[in-house]
A and B are shown apart, each in its own frame.
Chain A
Amino acid sequence: MSPDNHKNIDLKFNTIRKEAEKRRAAFRDAPVPKIHIGMATCGIASGALETKKAFEEALVENNIEARIHTVGCFGHCYAEPVVIIDHPDSGFPPIFYHEVTPGKAKMLVKLFLGDGDPRFEHIYGATEENELIPSVTDFSRFNQEKRIVMEKCGRIDPEDIYDYIAAGGYSTLVRALKLDPEEVIKEVEHSGLRGRGGAGFPTGRKWKLAKSVIEQDKIVICNADEGDPGAYMDRTILESNPHQVLEGMAICAYAVGAQQAMVYVRSEYPLAVKLVTNAIQQAEKLGILGKGILDSTFDLKIDVFQGSGAFVCGEETALIRSIEGYRGMPRHRPPYPVQKGLWDKPTVINNVKTLASVPPILNHGATWYRGIGTQNSPGTAIFSIVGNVVHAGLVEIPMGVSLRTLIFDICGGIPNNKKFKAVQIGGPSGGCLNEDFLDTPIDFDSLTKAGAMMGSGGMVVMDEDTCMVEVARYFLDFTQKESCGKCTFCRIGTYHLLKILRRLTKGEGLEGDLELLETLSQDIQTGSLCGLGKTAPNPVLTSLKYFRNEYEAHAKEKRCPALMCRALTAFYFDLELCARGCDACATCCPVDAVFTTSNRKKGVDQELCVKCGECLVACPPEYDAVRKVSPPHLVPYIEKPPEKNKKDHK
């Protein structure tokens, strides 16, 4: 763009920025306390709406003036609902409170905002270093993270564009618009940014390919069709900081020469849809999107397209088909979408996290970005860590950190003194790794080498009580249901895998099942049409490789070593420990399978027992009499008194 244009852009943006700074200053300098509440879907699910209402009511009741600032997600799911109270007059720094129930909210208003007592027993930590109270940065969950993409998440109001601009937002777009598109692409290329959707394709190269296509009409799509069970990175970013994604999209569109863009977000994410739509409207109103962006000659229209929740539509060719109005079925590549994409136009499809990485990269420079992470995987990785882990939630770490550091240091390890068993990385089509891999660095190449994959960022941590055959069955159940049904290997092959795994977990395994699982998995990997089929056998192959003894126990001995598969386990009460006359287990049994023996101890009617494990929970710890065994025939015989005794007893 011409230097004249540059002046216009600066002029236009400076007015907007001044307004944003004015608003921010008015908020910051207001002589009242500020209450920041995390209100993304995760916060709301944990009761943030009720917490917010409690704060509002308590402020009125106590006649205290304070500002409530709704922000996105902090990433600390284990601590939701999360609230930060900034009460400068109290002399304390801003304080991070966790699990703020409505009751806690009311108390904090009365005692902290009213009387200046921050209630030390409820404090998680101060958000900045100070001399009065420990700071959250003392915790590894805070100080070992490196937030680039999620830097502003939980700090700004996702519904207010000025909040984003005051925090430095859209200034990178301004800078990009004053560069040549080629320079922008070069910078992204130099940064070494790789696609965060899973495959890790170099983003700069993708943009360059799209740029090189002569066709005028190009399209940029932000892929937010996040479908992995238990993963919510993209949703959280869209709900916490949608403008950073839009800014990345605008920069991408400018670089490749597109005037049209789309956010493909699943309709099961209503809050994300609402916030992105709202963000686009706000940006258009200020002239940051739309026609003649910031008085330049660059136009960009961004639309929101709601997917209907098919997992396969995260695959780019299926995603395109579904926008076109067809059934979401993948097509053979090449041609790749950058050559022939949506409506046969060159289309750049990038993941939410990829696009959200672009503004910080251009802002701080490619060299800075290369300095984070590893040689071949620069930057940060965002994981949603769930399962048997103390501090579950969203974590952004530099690439190259080991799994051990991530799971045990940053996320606090395994709860309830259990042992680590496996970690499943990369969503339902990732691999299950055992403890030998704990020192594997987290980057695209190392994970692929280990048989797992980076994927989009789902990570499930499993403790010793998890049966790996059952885990493989669970993931296959998912991928098989989500297969589009187009190609033979994925449609029928995964169904056979599922059926075999199902019979193994029921103790009905057949001769040669393990070998069949292996060869079939390999053929599905090579033979399938798209990424879904190609990666669907990963959980089976990796668990077979690293936990083969468990498979063998299921197949040959009909035994579940983790005591998880119901058909292969049974409960009984150790009569040495069982307390005479105690009825704790019998009263909670949903199927009346617990009977009283002739000496008033307890036995289990194996015919009736559904193996729910309620008795195990109910048995008082001082007796700890409930035993679980596998295979079920190991249960000692305990005589059931004749039926009429039971009636008499009742």
Chain B
Amino acid sequence: MMLKLLVDNQEIETREGKTLLQACLDNQIYIPNLCYLENVERPSASCRMCFVEIEGIKQPVPSCTVQVRDEMVVKTDTPGVRQLQRTALRLLLSVHDVDCKNCHANKNCELQNIAKFLKVGLKPKRLERYLKETQIDETHPFLNHYPNRCVLCGKCVHICRGKHGQSVLTFAKRGFDTVISTYSVTDVSSLACSDCGSCVKACPVGALALKESS
């Protein structure tokens, strides 16, 4: 069934069962997002970027968690929404090694796109920068992981689990120290990994790369 929505005073049509974020993206209405994957039953909703305001709901909500309803009235650019998005982006950038010209994702990076869209400088002034000690985690036989580029969106973990039934990559540690890790499993035969590169493709920034030799 087709539904009609009013997004930023613009009427859009979409199919029932879609998420609000998907419906907007399908209609060329951009909402910043990092962790969203299409057709995932329960969205991760971890990046806290895709906020919108929906008529009747007091606070901004992540649009990836909302199912479209007919005649929904949505605003994607209210001050409240932008405030949250900018803070989220600044927080991510405050732990990001902004060294774009040496990063393979340069000009193909979601953080750059979002920063441009939200008009936020890549080097936020108000927040101190905290980087992790490990620049590159090279323990994996096929992959290199750059913890200081990672936004912990979890796309790689999800894609890998879908592909191999178990995840080679997973979250490790807690709180601020949370990282994507392979738990230093180096024995290729015990890994479900097949250097398929799905995780690298899924990464919205340049946090994963296939090793050049492999």
Which A residues contact B (CB, under 8 angstroms)? 310, 327, 329, 331-332, 335, 480-489, 491-496, 499, 512, 516, 519-520, 523, 526-529
Question: Which one of B59, B92, B126, B177 contacts A488 once the chains associate, using CB atoms below 8 Å?
Answer: B92
Interface range for B: 35 or more
Query: Contact between A520 and B87 (Cβ–Cβ < 8 Å)?
Result: yes
Of all chain B residues, the one with the shortest Cβ separation from A485 is: B178
Known: A492-B94, A496-B94, A499-B130. A527 touches B46 (CB 8 A): no
Whole-angstrom CA separation of A512 from B176 in the bound complex:
23
Query: Contact between B84 and A527 (Cβ–Cβ < 8 Å)?
Result: yes
Q: Is the interface of B mostly helix, strand, loop or mixed?
A: loop
- B136-184 residues at the A interface, CB under 8 angstroms: 151-152, 154, 170-171, 173-178
Known: A482-B174, A484-B178, A495-B175. A489 touches B88 (CB 8 A): yes
Q: Mark B105-131, 1 if CB is under 8 A from A, else 0.
A: 000000000000000000000111010
Min C-beta distance of A49 to chain B, whole Å: 34
Query: Contact between A332 and B175 (Cβ–Cβ < 8 Å)?
Result: no
B151 contact set on A, CB distance < 8 A: 488
Given contacts A332-B62, A488-B151, 17 further A-B contacts (CB under 8 A): A331-B42, A484-B175, A484-B178, A485-B152, A485-B173, A485-B174, A486-B154, A486-B178, A488-B152, A492-B95, A494-B175, A496-B91, A496-B128, A499-B130, A516-B127, A526-B84, A529-B48
Which B residues contact A (CB, under 8 angstroms)? 42-49, 51, 59-60, 62, 65, 83-84, 87-88, 91-92, 94-95, 126-128, 130, 151-152, 154, 170-171, 173-178
Query: Contact between B126 and A512 (Cβ–Cβ < 8 Å)?
Result: yes
Query: Contact between B170 and A489 (Cβ–Cβ < 8 Å)?
Result: no
Question: Which one of A332, A482, A484 contacts B42 once the chains associate, using CB atoms below 8 Å?
Answer: A332
Of all chain A residues, the one with the shortest Cβ separation from B127 is: A496
Q: Is the interface of A mostly helix, strand, loop or mixed?
A: helix
Query: Contact between B43 and A332 (Cβ–Cβ < 8 Å)?
Result: yes
Query: Contact between B175 and A329 (Cβ–Cβ < 8 Å)?
Result: no
B88 contact set on A, CB distance < 8 A: 488-489, 523, 527
**22 A-B residue pairings within 8 Å (CB atoms):** A327-B170, A331-B42, A332-B43, A481-B175, A483-B175, A483-B176, A485-B176, A485-B178, A486-B171, A487-B46, A488-B92, A488-B152, A489-B48, A491-B178, A492-B95, A496-B94, A496-B127, A516-B127, A523-B87, A523-B88, A527-B87, A527-B88
Question: For A332, A494, A499, which residue has the most chain B Cβ atoms within 10 angstroms?
Answer: A332
Min C-beta distance of A502 to chain B, whole Å: 11
Of all chain A residues, the one with the shortest Cβ separation from B34 is: A488
Whole-angstrom CA separation of A327 from B127 in the bound complex:
30
A489 contact set on B, CB distance < 8 A: 48, 87-88, 91
Known: A492-B95, A499-B130, A526-B60. A484 touches B84 (CB 8 A): no
